């Protein structure tokens, strides 16, 4: 997750206004919080989007294709958070 977040910040930092940079930080913190909550839920998970992200994080995490997939997913998640204030799938 740390590598993906680093790439996300590096990619977006030049494009975003200051208030959006702050929102990006908030969205990542909320995403991480929700990932932990979903993991604790075990078989009672409710958020399919987070389940898919978790699978990407655990399956071939250092492979280029997986890093790129996670990057695109995190950009999508940020766009959703920016519009709704919620984590994708909630």
Q: How confident is the model at residue 39 (pLDDT cuts 50, 70, 90)?
A: confident
Asked whether residue 76 is assigned to any structural domain, the reply reads: yes
66 by DSSP, 3-state: which?
helix
Mean pLDDT within 51-79:
91
Total domains, the chain: 1
Q: Which domain holds residue 34?
A: 2-84
Contacts of 12 (CB under 8 A, 6+ apart): 21, 24, 75, 78
Kindly report the average pLDDT of the chain as a whole number. Answer: 91
Q: Are 87 and 34 in contact (CB under 8 A)?
A: yes
Asked whether residue 67 is assigned to any structural domain, the reply reads: yes
Asked whether residue 90 is assigned to any structural domain, the reply reads: no
**Residue 59: what pLDDT?**
85
Asked whether residue 47 is assigned to any structural domain, the reply reads: yes
**Residue 70: what pLDDT?**
93
| pTM of the predicted model as reported, rounded to 2 decimal places | 0.86
Asked whether residue 7 is assigned to any structural domain, the reply reads: yes
């Amino acid at each position: 997750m740390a590598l993906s977040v680093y790439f996300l910040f590096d990619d977006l930092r030049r494009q975003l206004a200051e208030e959006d940079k702050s929102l990006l930080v908030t969205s990542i913190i909320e995403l991480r919080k929700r990932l932990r909550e979903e993991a604790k839920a075990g078989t009672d998970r409710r958020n399919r989007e987070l389940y898919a992200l978790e699978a990407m994080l655990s399956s071939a995490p250092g492979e280029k294709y997986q890093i790129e997939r996670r990057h695109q997913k995190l950009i999508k998640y940020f766009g959703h958070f920016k519009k709704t204030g919620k984590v994708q799938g909630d």
